[in-house]
Amino acid sequence: MLAAIGVGSVDDLFLDIPEEFRNPSLDLPAPLSELEIQKELAGFAAKNRPLGSGPSFLGAGSYHHFIPAIVKALMTRGEFLTAYTPYQPEVSQGTLQVIYEFQSLIANLFGMEVTNAGMYDGATSLAEGVLMACRVTQRHQVAIADTLSPDYLKVIQTYCQAQGIQIQLTQAADPEVTGESACLVVQYPNFFGYLEDLSRLSDQAHRQGALLVVSADPMALGMFQPPGHYDADIVTGEGQPLGIPTSFGGPYLGLFTTKQQYIRQMPSRLVGKTVDSQGRTGYVLTLQTREQHIRRERATSNICTNEALYALASTIFLAAMGKQGLRQIAELCYHKAHYAAAKIAELPGYFLPMSGTFFQEFVIQCPDSPARINRRLMEQNILGGWDLTADSNGSAPAWGRDQRMLLCVTEMNSKEDIDCLVSALGEFN
């Protein structure tokens, strides 16, 4: 090959690199064979405590749900796993039809008119929803309910910082939305697991000409009214509960839905149905003039590669669970969480400080610091809840007070797990 090119050595192909910087030492460890690397990685993995290795009650944005075997079996097929972005539709109908299915099922689940092909994760999807609301309304203030995940709030701040968008935290119970507000942002269920009154919040936002932007847990929508039912304008979500492992926080899947009238302001890819030159049905990437590779600095977002493989995973998951399965899983979470909450509330020194309807997460007031409690639980191989004293979001009722913990109970927790947690918590008073 060198002779065909007309050079004497491979090094000759790199002569454009200034000589003083050419061929540096990288100081990397020596290569490993597959056998060795497998051992090394298994060693690292063994130093971690997976959720499945004992009772676990941690949620707060990442959830331990059942994943049927077919999800991994199908998504790891090389034809899906190693395919490129479907810019060549003639040889990408598999990926494109899957995304069309994904757009359809997520739209149905959220009760919304259109869904895009996916975003990075729940936090960035919401941040892009906020930017889109500013584009749609041509306003530059956003009102954010103080029951939003503090991490989601931080990501919104990062995305908005350079665009002169002002962020105002407001009480979810009585939000201040003005004629200057682009949108009211609310999480459903909120960070503490409780359902917000979307009907009222929708009215309050729309009366001021602001959009209602909701970040919703798709699993909760297996049983609760979807945000679309309340006339939400943009609904985003974390798709992780739909067949994606917790995997230390990623890769996850951003869900992004809106109303038909706003599609040209949407970020990210969209797949549409069309016909080929012989009249056969086919699918293509469409409305690409919104996107960075066409519109460059005037694009609706810079997003390019996102999470297509996990859009596939969630589509397989929703297909397998189906109409009845998803509802049943959601109800299992609901009943188990309420069973756990009632048992804990009976313990001396514990109570539930918040009221309303919750799904699978709830806040408990503890007789001791959550950090201490969690350490003691871990001694019994129980992974406790999220320590709410560790992080703060402003003025929400559950923030800024000591000794509050956010617990999550899903279908993965057996009665035995829950009873074990309740009994361990009972030792603390």
Partner 1 sequence: MQTGGSRSTGKLLMDRSSPGRMGVVPPPLDVPAQEMPDQALLRGNLDLPEVSEPEVVQYFTNLSQQNFSIDTQFYPLGSCTMKYNPKINDEVSFLPGFAGIHPRQPVETCQGALEVLYRLQEFLARISGMPAVSLATLAGAQGELAGVLMMRAYHQSRGDAGRTKMAIPDSAHGTNPSSASMAGFDVVTLPSDRAGNVDLEALHELAGPDMVGVMITLPSTLGIFDANIVEVCRVVHEAGGLVYGDGANMNALLGRVKLGDLGFDLIHSNLHKTFSTPHGGGGPGAGPVCCSRALAPFLAAPIVTKDAKKKAGDDAPEYRLAQPEQSIGKISGFHGNFGVLVRAYTYIRTLGESGLKSISSNAVLNANYLMEALRDIYLLPYDRRCMHEVVFSADLQKERGVSGLDVAKRLLDYGYHAPTMYFPLIVHEALMIEPTESETRETLDAFIQALRDIDRESQENPDLVRQAPHTTPVSRLDEAAAARRPDLRWTKRE
What H or E segment, with its residue span, contains residue 145?
A: strand 141-145
Q: Which of 166, 163, 204 is nearest to 184 (CA)?
A: 204
Q: How far apart are CA 255 and CA 234, in angstroms?
A: 10
Cβ nearer to partner 1, comparing 146 with 411: 411
CB atoms within 10 A of CB 308: 21
CB atoms within 10 A of CB 85: 14
Q: How far is the CB of 177 from partner 1 (least distance, A)?
A: 23
Length of the chain: 429
Q: Is 85 helix (H, G, I), strand (E, B) or coil?
A: coil
Cβ nearer to partner 1, comparing 117 with 420: 117
CA dist 203 → 233, 236, 419 (Å) = 12, 19, 42
Cβ nearer to partner 1, comparing 50 with 349: 50
Q: How far is the CB of 231 from partner 1 (least distance, A)?
A: 15
Q: How far is the CB of 248 from partner 1 (least distance, A)?
A: 4
Cβ nearer to partner 1, comparing 62 with 181: 62
**Contact, 155 vs 250, CB < 8 A?**
no
Q: How far is the CB of 209 from partner 1 (least distance, A)?
A: 25
Parallel, antiparallel, or unpaired for β 211-216 and 234-238?
parallel
Q: How far is the CB of 359 from partner 1 (least distance, A)?
A: 9
Exposure class string for 39-61: b at 16+ Cβ within 10 A, else e: eeeeeeeeeeeebeeebbbbbbb
Q: How far is the CB of 131 from partner 1 (least distance, A)?
A: 8
CB atoms within 10 A of CB 274: 12
Residue showing tokens 């003005």: 178
Q: How far is the CB of 208 from partner 1 (least distance, A)?
A: 25
DSSP state, 56? B
Which residues, in sequence order, are bridge partners of residue 408?
A: 361
Q: How far is the CB of 423 from partner 1 (least distance, A)?
A: 15
Q: How far is the CB of 224 from partner 1 (least distance, A)?
A: 6
Cβ nearer to partner 1, comparing 207 with 375: 375
- The radius of gyration of the chain from alpha carbons, rounded to an integer in Å, stands at 24
What H or E segment, with its residue span, contains residue 323?
A: helix 308-346
Q: Sign (positive/negative) of CA torsion 407, 413, 416, 420?
A: negative
Q: How far apart are CA 294 and CA 277, in angstroms?
A: 24
Q: How far apart are CA 132 and CA 238, in angstroms?
A: 18
Q: How far apart are CA 54 and CA 378, in angstroms?
A: 10
Cβ nearer to partner 1, comparing 209 with 391: 391
Cβ nearer to partner 1, comparing 194 with 350: 194
Q: How far is the CB of 207 from partner 1 (least distance, A)?
A: 22
Cβ nearer to partner 1, comparing 174 with 298: 298
CB atoms within 10 A of CB 424: 17
Q: How far is the CB of 237 from partner 1 (least distance, A)?
A: 12
Cβ nearer to partner 1, comparing 175 with 227: 227
Cβ nearer to partner 1, comparing 49 with 179: 49
Does the N-terminal peptide bond of residue 189 adopt cis geometry, omega within 30 degrees of 0? yes
Cβ nearer to partner 1, comparing 82 with 138: 82
